[in-house]
Amino acid sequence: MENPKITLKGKTYTAPPPKVKLWREVTKFKDKFGDKEQGDEEALSEMERLIAAAFNHPEISAEVIEDELDLDEFVPLFYQIASWVAEAVSRKMTELPK
């Protein structure tokens, strides 16, 4: 899976390879919000924060995402990032010696 991309204020950014911290935060999100509705305000704020964390760029913050990202791109991008992180971890786990 290719690294996620986001376009904000006419500029496209590509997420760098995921760090362990992002994996931990995505896992915590899933544990905390997996059974809640997507409209939960706390969950939406956390999704904005995690999207910003995935791109790890000073021009990308939760506030900028909230103001600039189209609604129809928001949830799909979050799920793309979560899948991308999970796939990276899974790929590395299969490389472990048996």
The per-residue pLDDT for 66 is 95
pTM of the model: 0.87
The per-residue pLDDT for 36 is 64
Residue range(s) defining the domain that contains residue 62:
5-94
Number of domains in the chain: 1
Residue 40's pLDDT band, with cuts at 50, 70 and 90, is confident
* In contact, 51 and 82? CB cutoff 8 Å: no
Residue 93's pLDDT band, with cuts at 50, 70 and 90, is confident
Mean local confidence (pLDDT), 64-68: 96
